[in-house]
Amino acid sequence: MTKRDSRKIDMGNKKAPEERDVPKQKKVPKQKEIPKHKKVPPKKKMPGTCVLPGGRFIVGIHRPTFKVNILRKNDFIHTLGTLPDGTPVENSTNFPRDEVEEPCADLIYEIPNPLPFRGVTYINSKWADSKAGRPESIYIHPSPRVSMKSLIDPWIKSLLSCLRENAKLSKNIAENIAENIAIDSAHVRKMHSELIKILPRPLLLALGESSTDPEDLILLASLCCQFLYDETSENNQDDSGADDDGNSCFLKNPRGIQFIMDSHGVPRPAITDHELFEVVANNTHLPDSYKQAMVLVPGIQGSSEITGEWQDNRSHVFEYLRRNSYIPWGHFAANTAHDTVRYAIRQLDDNDMAGMRHLYYQRTYIRVARELQNRGITFPSMPFLQGNSKKRLSLGEIETLRCHIVDILTKNWTDQVTDSGNPFPGLIFNASLWGWNFGFGYAHSGYRLHASHQQIHQQYAMVPAEVEICSDNILSTMPPMDGRYEISQALHGKMPSFSCGDMVGDFVKNYREATGENFFECYIKAVRSNQRVDGKKGLPSPLIVYEDDNVMLFVPKAQTSQWELQLMPIKECGNILAADTAMRNSLDNGILKALQILEKMGARMVTSIEYAGRFDHGNGDERILYSFLPRIPQSPGAFSEAQLRWINGHYPEDFASACRLSMQS
């Protein structure tokens, strides 16, 4: 029987003709319905980092070549000027007639940041090639010396001399008038003061920022406030910079400034120009006695309590509490004290750094310990945890306290119970925050360029694990959430509180899941085995600037600031609770070396930040990471940087070479 006969037999049933003529429809399988709010998990792919598994860097290169058609109708030819021989210079090249062709534009290197959330660095090869192998060319020139006094004093003396000579020659002027036109220092200083007072305000700000002459700065300071001098001084000073007898305020040391009562009955410094006051007070060339009177003596800047202190025969540091801070739950500032004036890194020594960092470690450990105590965890005999001990912890006490906290936090949280038998719920504040804005800058246009004040200080705080959601109405319309935003958190009105170290932790976790390797182990290998971006042989290739048994200071392959440095432990240490005494000393020393190197190279404003993991949980491959980000004069940051596209004009290997050269000097 043929297939055709078989088909006829199969269709030979008793169905109606119209039914038999309808072709049989192919059954379409029913598509599986995806539940609402449920997302299909993506396949794991390699995160966008320049650090490859196994410990190598990957770098991209753009070789631009293109054609551009002309979409312009008109030419606007103008003579722009002339050469010395009179030949006109025109703008005809700006108006091509034919299609524009670029056969070989500058090579651009594209380097993904090791930490993808920090963006991508682009290096223009033409710019970078000009500095390749020339580390001495990577340098910011120091500010020039500026003195209004030295500029105008000769002019004033010349003017007075002319007036005196004219008075002698005039028959209508009494003979003794010529003798009264004195060319002494008091008269000159008085005129100097009067001329500065009539400068337009933008010029006053510019002079306050740039002057290197103490007399200029004292005169500017006297325009902002009224100084009080010791009673032993000959006379009280007016706002001219000299008293009525011409005695100079430059020979006196102020003991304070004039105060007034504000509308709330609180005494406030009687400052007439706050911006100029701040600019002058932050100029390192202002005499120290004036800095102390204006901004350094405790209480002169407000009522912030001093809650800690470090003092030895070489250094003195206060810990200020900022109650109503821009950082939630307040923050602390470790400030070099009024009797330890530190306006430049070259004035800072290892004792100063140890003092500021000691206060950071001490405060953080004490806060964690007290929270654990409040949760029912007992500590061995540690008197400094009881009430106000009013003493600084010794290095041994800090290490003992740290070890005890670590012992508690490394136990299994699900089995951990308090002494009262209740389950331990975890830390409320479980991350540290640390930063340092070094350097002050203020433009005559009124734009602040950096930091809050020049006197060296570091700021720190603690970050909570969660933050309250501000409205319960949101929860009633909130869909189920995945990942870090757990449904249980939403139901209880909480969401995770941000810490920049969390971004590192999330990336490290993703890297391991995608590659099966630990990111920081690969990162350290890549730094150690680095090869130049431009591939040139015979030129320096190391990125490491300094290294000891615990940490390495190095240039990141993809710099976000053009002069960025990074400091990282070479062994596992995710936060300051995981840092023993030796590691803490290495971190402190590395931070100081980074700032010393950058200042020697000309950096005057540097932002330093810490990426740290959470105290009470980790992923097994964490490093506390410090990033040092100088501000570069010609690179204020614009739309490229806002899009995390960091533009660089040198190769990182040449910058590392420049840093090593600076450290040796």
Per-residue three-class SS string for 288-314: HHHHHHHHHCCCCCCCCCEEEEEECCC
Answer left, alpha or beta for residue 241, where phi above 0 means left and psi between -120 and 50 means alpha: left
CB 134: neighbour CB atoms within 10 A? 13
Query: Given pLDDT bands bounded at 50, 70 and 90, which one contains residue 31?
Result: very low
8 Å CB contact between 100 and 70: yes
Q: 154: buried, middle or exposed (CB in 10 Å: 19+, 13-18, 0-12)? A: exposed
pLDDT at 379: 82
150-172 average pLDDT score = 71
Do the beta carbons of residue 342 and residue 455 sit within 8 Å?
Answer: yes
466 beta partners: 496
Between CA 333 and CA 191 the distance in angstroms is: 42
pLDDT at 111 over 50: yes
Q: In what order do the strands lie in the sheet with 625-630?
A: 306-311, 316-322, 331-336, 457-464, 429-438, 606-611, 625-630, 565-569, 551-554, 544-547
Which region among 106-110, 208-212, 468-472, 585-589 has the lowest average model confidence (pLDDT)? 468-472
Cα–Cα distances (Å) from 167 to 157, 160, 444, in that order, read 15, 10, 41
Q: How far apart are CA 434 and CA 194, in angstroms?
A: 45
Distance CA 368, CA 364 (A): 6
Phi and psi at residue 199, to the nearest 5°: -65, 145
Question: Which pLDDT band holds residue 29 (cuts at 50, 70, 90)?
Answer: very low
Task: Work out the angle between the directed axes of helices 148-169 and 185-197 (0-180°, nearest 10).
Answer: 120
- φ, ψ dihedrals at 354, nearest 5°: -60, -40
Mean predicted lDDT score pLDDT of the chain = 85
pLDDT category of residue 636 using cuts at 50, 70 and 90: confident
Average pLDDT over residues 177-206: 77
Spatial neighbors of 227 by CB under 8 A, at least 6 apart, are: 221, 237, 249, 254, 256, 257, 258, 290, 293
- Which of the pair, 197 or 422, is modelled with greater confidence? 197
pLDDT at 20: 44
105: Cβ–Cβ under 8 A, 6 or more apart, which residues?
64, 65, 66
Q: Determine the average pLDDT of the residues in 53-65.
A: 96
pLDDT at 240: 42
User: 169 to each of 155, 371, 654, how far by Cα in Å?
Assistant: 21, 87, 68
Instruction: Tell me the whole-structure pTM to 2 decimals.
Output: 0.85
CB-CB contact of 242 with 187 (8 Å): no
Indicate left, alpha or beta for 333 from its phi (over 0: left) and psi (-120 to 50: alpha).
beta
Distance, C-alpha 185 to centroid of its chain? 45
Amino acid at 539: L
pLDDT at 239: 42
Predicted pLDDT of residue 25: 47
- Among 66-75, 183-192, 361-370, which is the least confidently predicted range? 183-192
Given this model, what pLDDT does residue 168 score? Answer: 58
185: Cβ–Cβ under 8 A, 6 or more apart, which residues?
246, 248
Torsion sign, CA atoms 375, 380, 382, 387: positive
**Partners of 438 in the β-ladder:** 606
Q: Which residues of 538-577 are buried (b: 16+ CB within 10 A; e: fewer)?
A: eebbbbebbeeebbbbbbbbbbbbbbbbbbbbbeebbbbb
DSSP assigned state of 235: S
Q: In the predicted model, is pLDDT for residue 606 greater than 90?
A: yes
Stretch 74-88: mean pLDDT, rounded? 97
Contact 330, 321 (CB under 8 A): yes
Is the pLDDT reported for residue 157 higher than 90?
Answer: no
Task: Tell me the per-residue pLDDT of 403-428, one tens digit each, with 9 for 90 and over.
Answer: 999 988 887 454 555 555 555 567 99
Higher pLDDT, 272 or 384: 272
* C-alpha distance across the termini of the chain, in Å: 102
Cβ-proximal residues to 640 (8 Å cutoff; 6+ apart), any chain = 646, 647
Angle, CA of 123, 129 and 135, to the nearest 5°: 100
Looking at 85-89, 240-244, 345-349, 488-492, which range is the least confident one? 240-244
For 632, list phi and psi in degrees, rounded to 5.
-105, 135
pLDDT in tens, 213-269: 999 999 999 999 999 997 655 444 444 444 444 445 556 789 999 999 999 999 999
The per-residue pLDDT for 413 is 52
Predicted local distance difference test score (pLDDT) of residue 501: 94
Tokens standing for residue 651: 């190769």
578 or 383, higher pLDDT: 578
SS3 (DSSP) at 128: helix
CA distances from 256 to 7, 236, 269, 303, 438 (A): 113, 13, 10, 16, 26
pLDDT at residue 8 tops 70: no
DSSP string for 425-490: ---SEEEEEEEEEE--EE-TTS-EEE-S-SS-EEEEEEEESEEE-S-HHHHHTPPP--TTS-HHHH
pLDDT at 474: 58
Q: Which amino acid is at 286?
A: L
pLDDT of 193 reads 85
* Segments in 302-425 forming alpha helices (H): 350-374, 395-409
CA gap 210, 604 in Å, rounded: 13
**Higher pLDDT, residue 635 or 463:** 463
3-state DSSP call for residue 244? coil
The closest of 52, 44, 64 to 112, measured between CA atoms, is 52
Angle between helices 350-374 and 581-600 (to 10 degrees): 140
